[in-house]
Amino acid sequence: MDILFAQIQADLRSNDALRQTGALLQALQQSAAGRDISVIAKSAVEEIVASPASAISKKLAFDLIRSTRLTTDLWEIVCTGIHTDLDFPDPDVTAAAVSILAAIPSYRLGKLIADCNKEISNCFDSPSDNLRFSITETLGCILARDDLVTLCENNVNLLDRVSIWWSRIGQNMLDRSDAVSKVAFESVGRLFQEFESKRMSRLAGDKLVDSENSVAIRSNWVSSMVDFVWRKRNALMVRSLVLPVESFRATVYPLVYAVKAVASVLLRLFGSFQSLLKMLTAIRWTPEMQRDLWEFPMWFRIWHRFWLRR
């Protein structure tokens, strides 16, 4: 086994992309077999992630990182490599770097987002379908997480960035690429599902109760997304019909959720208005109250005159 690991490490240190790819595949096989590959992961971080390499090698190296635990020093190297790769000319390399963002520990995620804000935002405008798919899928997983919502509570700048990215994910539901559009629908649906599950857990008496700030932050994201889906409902319905039938469940959920949310608000407003009408019609209007009525808006005076004639 030591000989095999030594050979894998030697291949990782080579500049041959084919040998590096083969070594990473062997390391993933050893990880799947349940063996400790922390030594190989260290070599992969130092030789692949922190150095120029092919998109396939980068992707395999990040898959290897996900399958093991890294020390704080190695995570710092990984974050530095991600920051470098986000500016790489090859969009496939950038897409591979974006995909590992979901595995970054919470204690390092906030600083990485702050350092790479511009590069992450530029991924949404990339002409590469693969890169737009990767950024939409990855951020759709990260931004709905509890730890990120907690980070946003104490960082206004991070909250502003995340809110902007949610709006970009919503816009990607109308992307020209079917793959990007589908994963954007799934990301928005995940945001709605997370909000519903948190509300249900609070009603069920779950001990892990979110703070008021985190609930307010998530509610603001949900309300903004519901507003976007409602305003663009016709275009979104047409876009969902173009997608393959296998993705119907994922694409219809955000639309149904938005319609239910808007209908719920309208019903509450209608119920409140009915209660107000019943209360005002039960009042016995005196001449003094009639004179004071002219201080109210025009719509109220018209309504009052109508009801007095009944």
Q: Is residue 282 a part of any domain in this protein?
A: no
Note the residue count of the chain: 310
How many CA atoms does the CB half-sphere of 139 hold within 13 Å?
28
- Please tell me whether residues 116 and 136 are part of one structural domain: no
- CB of 288 closer than 8 Å to CB of 295: no
Q: Is residue 198 a part of any domain in this protein?
A: yes
Q: Is the dihedral angle over the CA atoms 201, 204, 208, 209 positive or is it negative?
A: positive
- Please tell me whether residues 73 and 104 are part of one structural domain: yes
Q: Is residue 303 a part of any domain in this protein?
A: no
pLDDT of res. 167: 92
pLDDT of res. 219: 85
Q: Is residue 230 a part of any domain in this protein?
A: yes
Q: Mean pLDDT in runs of 10 for the chain (310 residues)?
A: 78 82 86 82 84 84 84 88 86 87 86 88 90 92 84 87 92 91 91 72 45 81 89 89 82 86 70 56 54 47 48
Range of the domain at 87: 1-123
- Please tell me whether residues 42 and 76 are part of one structural domain: yes
Of the residues 108, 123, 138, the one at which a domain ends: 123
Q: Is residue 161 a part of any domain in this protein?
A: yes
pLDDT of res. 208: 45
pLDDT of res. 180: 92
Rounded to an integer, what distance in angstroms lies between the CA atom of residue 149 and that of residue 113? 13
Q: Is residue 288 a part of any domain in this protein?
A: no
pLDDT of res. 270: 59
pLDDT of res. 129: 92
Burial 60-83 (b: 16+ CB within 10 A, else e): bbbbbbeebebeeebbebbbebbe
pTM, full prediction: 0.77
Q: How many helices (H) and strands (E) does the chain have?
A: 17, 0
- Please tell me whether residues 241 and 135 are part of one structural domain: yes
Of the residues 80, 105, 123, the one at which a domain ends: 123
- CB of 227 closer than 8 Å to CB of 212: no
Rounded to an integer, what distance in angstroms lies between the CA atom of residue 56 and that of residue 115? 25
